[in-house]
Structure 1
């Protein structure tokens, strides 16, 4: 409604419509959203930080060299345990730390080695999934805060209608309508992007976990080879 009034005013003043509409920037619209835009903005900043931090962490965790396990197999079969441990320590990935724990347990019962590798794997999975639940929370909380802004904006609009005597001016209702519409759109925007980011990271973590499971099985099979 306010944009329509601007257009009519521009026609009366013989000012190009495009020039007047450009004056209503996205930043101006965000400021019209009211105080409910503050928590939505904070949630978006937290979501961006968590996504970038988790993405970099997952990328670093997935940098296990392709020849890592083949080198470990060769060293273990040759009895060169100390070199295998050094290789694991220099690699510094979840898979390398799991294998290092298994190498350190060589000589113990096979079930004990398997349990120790599994325990390290659980710790590494916890590190990979850290703060992912926060993204899931943001993806649900941001739209709800946006809807709350809609409710408060409409309440403000109806209060203005109730207090106004005679014909209600569209300008009087514009602030409440802006708050209602903008907070809803902003909340949904943040929620959708965060939801997509959460599912993307979960998929990346899932692939990495499958790789860790495959490596642990491969290492256990390696320890059984000399017994054949």
Structure 2
């Protein structure tokens, strides 16, 4: 592919004129996706910093019997795992039974996880819909091109026909250009949510086992 000829065209407003409404819709979708991605990055990035070490401090203090210090360590950070441990430790110090402790901790965890997955559905829809919109635009463009060829009868200009076809194919390219990075970022976010859920379950189980004098390393 001759990118020297393609890139100036793509950097030009001609792309919007050639692609028509489909490209405009894809452009709006890309702006929405970029906004959601930036919001989720702002939400995800700070919480992974030092999370494992912070949780280890909480569990170590709890295993050593220093309940007050464990609670202080848990309240010292804003990582989701620490916030779940705060809820669990508060319930334990209040003398609640294990079932209540787990229910309260899981309630807090569900709320925190829901915040992490919020708006990810938008990215999922954009990643799935963008290629279809691009293909739809291409089909419409091809219909226009062949209608023009039919109207011209025997005096068809191959250059005009080929020009109409490649302009129609631009919508498919635009759809894929939106869908691929969105799908990749969505996969990363979903992986982060999965890891966070695992970390919460692991830390909560270790805390409950420690409360009963069991070795969490052997769980």
Same fold (TM over 0.5): yes
Unaligned runs of 5+ in 1: 4-18
Which of 53, 64, 73 is matched with 2:39 structurally?
Answer: 53
- 1:189 Cα shift? 2.0
Distance 1:169 1:70, change over 3 A: closer
Please report how far the alpha carbon of residue 80 of structure 1 lies from its aligned counterpart in structure 2 after TM superposition. Answer: 4.2
Structure 1 distance, partners of 2:205, 2:186, is 29
SS in 2 for 1:117: helix
Q: Distance in 1 between matches of 2:7 and 2:126?
A: 32
Answer with 180-189 or 198-207: which moved more.
Answer: 198-207
Alpha-carbon distance change, 113 to 170 in structure 1, aligned in 2, over 3 angstroms: same
Tell me which residue corresponds to 1:183: 171
Q: Structure 1 residue 91: deviation in Å?
A: 0.2
Alpha-carbon deviation of 1:99?
A: 0.4
**Correspondence for 1:155:** 143
Q: CA RMSD in A?
A: 2.6
Q: Which residue of 2 aligns with 1:34?
A: 20
Check the 8 A contact 1:64/1:95 in 2, yes or no. no
Q: Is the 8 A contact 2:22 2:171 kept in 1?
A: yes
In 2, the alpha carbon distance for the partners of 1:22 and 1:171 equals 17
CA distance in 2, matches of 1:207, 1:46: 26
TM-score norm. by structure 1 comes to 0.79
Instruction: Quote the Cα distance in structure 2 between the aligned partners of 1:60 and 1:219.
Output: 24
| Separation in 2, partners of 1:183, 1:22 | 14
Partner of residue 121, structure 2: 133
What runs of 5+ residues in structure 2 fail to find an aligned partner? 215-219
Deviation at 1:79, TM superposition (A): 4.7
Q: Does the CA contact (< 8 Å) of 2:149 and 2:156 recur in 1?
A: yes
Indicate the residue corresponding to 1:6 in structure 2.
none
Distance of aligned partners of 1:110 and 1:22 in 2 relative to their CA distance in 1, 3 Å threshold = closer
> What corresponds to 2:217 in structure 1?
none
Query: SS where residue 104 of structure 1 aligns?
Result: helix
